[in-house]
Amino acid sequence: MGEIVIAAKVTHVPSMFISEQAGPHHGCRDAAIAGHHEIARRARSAGATAFVVFDTHWLVNSGYHVNANPHHRGTYTSNEFPHFIQELPYDYEGVTDLGHAIADLATARGVRTRAHDAVPSLGLEYGTLVPMRYMNSDPHSALPVLSIAGWMQDSSFEESRCVGSAVAEAIAESDHRVALLASGSLSHRIWPNDEVEHGMFNISRPFNEHVDKMVLGLWKEGRIDEFLAILPDYAEHCSGEAHMHDTALLFGALGWDDYHGAGEIVTDWFPSSGTGQCNVVFPVAS
């Protein structure tokens, strides 16, 4: 029997790459990178055999989709931020059997979900690639990766809850020990174009910062049912990345409002180009 061995909400800000480079911003995202390293350490310590990532940079217009290719290999340049992420090589095994099991269960529950396992040109997006760079980059010990679209146009939170539940059930019925990641920001109002170059280390709206920190407080106190009650308004009024479907998928997998675990903040809230970011681990039952 498989299980989720660690679950987390994680940042994937492109400025983590700038932080690696010599220059005025060297080290600026050390805390975020250290948070990824710590999550990876815990995942391996818990015996993880695969990463499953809800990726808010994989936009789909109809249904839910799973990249179940048996191998992910390519060179990635972000079309959104080509000045930040360019020519990034990646090479990971896939998790085809789990991808199909998730799609079959979710579809059987009424949410059309497709797994793709014979489309080599279906590459990974940077919501998956950035965390994997810091959590899973050693070619000698890299774990297989399954990426699930986390940005569904016109989908409901109830649908994402259902798909997240199918993810958990499919994992439980498999042989995989999974590190489950929701890869996306908290508030996500990027600065206007004429201000963004000067706003890398600032939030765009003080309101968003206050709500982000209120949400982190709810998570730390295990008040997940209260958070889920405000999730639609939070996603709407604080411009949640991909309408925060990655977060809905994560809590769907954890049990939705029956989940009462207290989140542990591994990387404190920080602003990035107007948005609110964090790394938070949610305990899972052993």
Read off the pLDDT of residues 22-48 as tens digits, 9 standing for 90 and up: 999 999 999 999 999 999 999 999 999
Q: What pLDDT shows up at residue 286?
A: 59
DSSP codes of every residue in 185-224: -SS--PPPTTTGGG-TTSBS-HHHHHHHHHHHHHHHTT-H
Q: Is domain 3-282 in CATH 3.40.830.10, yes or no?
A: yes
Read off the pLDDT of residues 127-158 as tens digits, 9 standing for 90 and up: 999 999 999 999 899 999 999 999 998 899 99
What ranges do the domains of the chain cover? 3-282
Report the chain's C-alpha Rg in angstroms: 17
Say if pTM beats, i.e. exceeds, 0.75.
yes
Q: Kindly state the average pLDDT of the residues 17-21.
A: 91
Let me know: does 204 contact 212? Beta carbons within 8 Å: no
Please identify which residue in the block is written with the tokens 């710590």: 38
Closest listed residue to residue 205, CA positions, set 215, 192, 214, 193: 192
Read off the pLDDT of residues 225-275 as tens digits, 9 standing for 90 and up: 999 999 999 999 999 999 999 999 999 999 999 999 999 999 999 999 999
Please tell me the distance from the alpha carbon of residue 38 to that of residue 118, in angstroms, as a whole number: 34
